[in-house]
Amino acid sequence: MKKLQEKSRTHSKHPHITNLMYLPALLLFTVFIVYPFLEGIRIAFTNWNGFSQHYDYVGFKNFIYLFQDKNMYTASWNTIIYGFGSTVFQQILGLSYALLLNRMILGRNFARTFVYLPVLIAPVIMGYMWYFMFQYRYGALNDILAVLGMDPVDWLAKGKRAVGLIVFVNTVQFCGISMVIYLAGLQTIPTMYYEASQIDGANAWKQFINITMPLLRPAFITSITLNLIGGLKLFDAIKAMTNGGPGYASHSLSTLIDYTYFRSQSAGYSATMGILLFAMILLFTLIIQKLSARQEVLL
């Protein structure tokens, strides 16, 4: 490879002229991501309301308030619940489905199709579809309770329950992603491993622990990373199901940023929370990378 590159260098007058080809992409990143990011940091030091010509630089006031703001703690905690909660359940569901649907059984394709289909539906629309289930009046879930002779429940009226239901909806919608990743992972495991261990008299459980789990490691890392980042960014489903309510109980940082900017008209403080959200996701991503890298070394 090195040799080739050297060769090509001697052959072409402008060895890296092709680097020009990524300029358009870099230009877009600079104008719409890097520049806004820096601008966001600047706005975070102001008390700007989002539309006035006048604002003052207020130093670290927004950052100090950030740590006194109860709603920020609620939203941060919820963000973590949405991220990790969805991730844990998605792995459990995704892996179980993959193991089940890897068998040659009737209805396999049917199940695969309908487990994966929701992944392609806009989360905001999916949120509304589940709203038909959880509504107090005429809600499909309360219909079941009525048949069982129980009183109807206003499912989304309690903060903690609403957070749980949002995790549930997000999990059910996106466990198809994990399922597909694990299915692909399972198909890369040679069957002779299983055959060999069967000869050694290992039962199915032992096989799962000693063969399947270790060999699925890359699939785990991929799936967990995807799900976790998706969960931490959660926005659409919350907007559709509770709009952050009741009160502030089910806000994630994403929805709270939106709310603070458009509703409370505190653009400066909203930008400060934006930095917090960015830092949070960066932190978790780095942790995952560190952990997965160390695992590889251990292997």
Partner 1 sequence: MKILKTCLLVLFCLVAGTSLFAAGQQDSDTTNLTLMLNFQSTEAVTTAFEEVISDFHSANPSIKIDLISGTSDYEALMKSKMATNDLPDMWSTHGWSVLRYSEYLMPLEDQEWASRLHPAIKPVVTDEKGHIYVLPIDVDMAGVAYNKTVLAKAGVKVETLKTWKDLYGAMDKVKAIGVTPVHIGGKDSWTVGNFFDWAAPAVYITDPKHYSGDDLVAGKFDTAKWELLAGLMKEMNEKGYLNVDNLTSTYSDSARALAVGDAAFTFYGNYVLAEAWTFDPDADLGFFPVPAYYEGDSPSLISGERSTVGIWKDTANVEACKTFLSFLAIPANAAKIAGSNGIPAGLTDAESDTGKLKADYKKWADAPAFPYFDRAFLPSGMWDTMCSTGAGILSESMSTTEAAEKMKEDFNRMYK
Partner 2 sequence: MITGKKSLISKILWSVLTIFIGFFHFIPLFISINVAFKPKTDLSSRWTLPAEFYLKNFSYAAEKAKIILAVQNSLIITITSIAVIVMIGGMAAYPLARNRSRFNERILQFVLAVMMVPPLSMLVPLVTIMTRLGAVSTYWGIIVVLVTFQLPISIFLYSSFIRTIPGELDEAALIDGCSKFTIFYKIILPLLKPITATVIILTGVAIWNDYQFSLFLLQSPRMRVVTLAVSTFFAQSSSNLGAAAAAALIAVMPIALLFLFLQRYFIQGMVDSAVKG
- The yes or no reply on residue 59 touching partner 2 (CB under 8 A) is no
State yes or no: residue 204 binds partner 2 (CB under 8 A): no
Selection from 279, 230, 233, 238 nearest residue 44 by Cα: 279
> Cβ of residue 185: shortest distance to partner 2, in angstroms?
8
- Report the interface residues with partner 1, using CB under 8 A: 49-54, 65, 70-71, 134-137, 154-159, 242-249, 259, 263-266
CB of 163 to partner 1, least distance (A): 12
Q: Does 77 bind partner 2 (CB under 8 A)?
A: no
Would you give the DSSP letter of residue 49? -
Counting residues that bind partner 2 (by CB under 8 A) gives 101
State how far the Cα of 235 lies from the Cα of 138, in Å rounded to an integer: 26
Stretch that binds partner 2, among 56-64, 68-76, 102-110, 193-201 (CB under 8 A): 102-110
DSSP labels, 148-206: TT-----GGGSHHHHHHHHHHHHHHHHHHHHHHHHHHHHHTS-HHHHHHHHHTT--HHH
- The rounded Cα 7 to chain-centroid distance in angstroms is 45
Under the binding rule (CB under 8 A), the answer on residue 39 touching partner 2 is yes
Cβ proximity to partner 1: between 206 and 263 the closer is 263
Residue 65 interacting entry, from partner 1, partner 2, none, C-beta within 5 to 8 Å by type: partner 1
Select from 6, 56, 143, 296 the one that contacts partner 2 (CB under 8 A).
Answer: 143
Minimum CB–partner distance for residue 46 and partner 2 (Å): 10
Residue 239 touching partner 2 (CB under 8 A): yes
The site partner of 63 among partner 2, partner 1, none (C-beta below 5 to 8 Å per kind) is none
Residue list 241-280, contact with partner 2 (CB under 8 A): 253-255, 257-258, 261, 267, 270-271, 274-275, 277-278
Contact between residue 167 and residue 86 where contact means Cβ atoms under 8 Å apart: yes
With residue 144 as reference, give the H or E element that holds it.
helix 140-147
Supply the DSSP string of 210-246, one letter for each residue: IIIHHHTHHHHHHHHHHHHHHHHT--HHHHHHTTT-S
Q: Which of 7, 206, 263, 290 binds partner 2 (CB under 8 A)?
A: 7
What is the closest distance, in whole angstroms, from the C-beta atom of residue 48 to partner 1 in the complex?
9
Q: Shortest distance, CB of residue 114 to partner 2, whole angstroms?
A: 4
When asked if residue 172 is in the footprint of partner 2 (CB under 8 A), the reply is yes
The burial class, CB within 10 Å (0-12 / 13-18 / 19+), for 163 is buried
Q: Check if the beta carbon of residue 158 is closer than 8 Å to that of residue 246.
A: yes
156: nearest Cα among 244, 255, 257, 256: 244
By CB under 8 A, tell whether 83 contacts partner 2.
Answer: no
Radius of gyration of the chain from Cα atoms? Answer: 25
CB of 170 to partner 1, least distance (A): 19
Asked if 292 touches partner 2 (CB under 8 A), the answer is no
Decide if residue 69 touches partner 2 (CB under 8 A): no
Query: Considering the rule CB under 8 A, would residue 33 count as an interface residue with partner 2?
Result: yes
CB 9, min distance to partner 1, A: 43
Is residue 31 exposed (0-12), middle (13-18) or buried (19+ Cβ within 10 Å)?
Answer: exposed
CA distance 134 to 57: 45
Q: Does position 222 bind partner 2 by CB under 8 A?
A: yes
Taking the C-alpha atoms of residue 18 and residue 7, their distance in angstroms, rounded to an integer, is: 16
